[in-house]
Amino acid sequence: MKIDREYLLNVVSCALAEDIGDGDITTAVSVDASVSAVGKITARKPLIVAGIPLVSAVFMQMDDALSVEVLIPDGSFACKNDIIAIVQGPAAPILTGERVALNFIQRLSGIATITAEFVKRTEGTGVQILDTRKTIPGWRLLEKYAVSMGGGTNHRFGLYDRFLFKDNHLAVGAPDLAKGIASIIKKAREYRPDCKVEVEVDTLEQLKKVLPSKPDIVLLDNFSLDDLRAAVSIAGESVFLEASGGVTLETVRDIALTGVNGISVGALTHSAPAVDIALDLELC
């Protein structure tokens, strides 16, 4: 996945405006404009890097006299104390842009790092680790980009690119599930034939009622391991089965071994901790 450049520049501009306001008063009175420096962006713990394009955009918007050299690109592993990138040029704009640049790379590398751990825990099973819409408003594309850098698979990006009929949709739109879902899926495919159709079910009985209507994906919400295995047996290879609901690093492998095709994990974005990345500045 690539981040749209216009979107990226807009996000960075908003972040800088929020932080700087009408001026960085601390740097203004402490750092002469003639002073140059080198800033080393360094991993303080092992991690997967994500967010380099934003770091570069921050410093380029601060001052086009600054240069950014990338040593460890996005999607790559960084050991503790590895230098990820080097920014060089006038010291003042480096100091002013430092916090915003670190906010981006710490948050996104945190998402990439936890995603990579989920992927590692399911190695050899063939399952896809999927993200969700549980993202910070305004940051969705960035956070989904970070998931992809960690080896995860992007689920739908919004309400516009995939049908997902959840329990509340079905409660009001198809109270008689066996009859109603066929009509809804037919309407969906006529309305947007380019979009996949996904239906959420809570029980094996609901799964049996939905399968004849041939959705592309069935979301198995909060199924037990035994019920997940049963769902795989019932559905065979007729549909992509997505397991969801409170998935953790401790449970994800057992879920993957049931034979489902994908596991959606809200924690990739809503609970990923920022990782420890620092910018160490030296005069040059």
Q: Which residues are catalytic?
A: 99, 134, 166, 200, 221
**What is the Cα–Cα distance from 211 to 185, expressed in whole angstroms?**
11
Distance CA 15, CA 35 (A): 25
Q: Which residue, 134, 113, 166, 112, is CA-closest to 1?
A: 112
Mode of pairing for the β-strands spanning 217-221 and 240-244? parallel
Query: How many other CB atoms sit within 10 Å of the CB of residue 219?
Result: 24
Nearest to 262 by CA among 272, 273, 276, 247: 247
Quickly count helices (H) and strands (E) in the chain.
11, 12
Helices marked H in the chain: 5-20, 25-30, 52-62, 91-121, 140-149, 167-173, 177-191, 204-210, 225-235, 252-256, 267-270
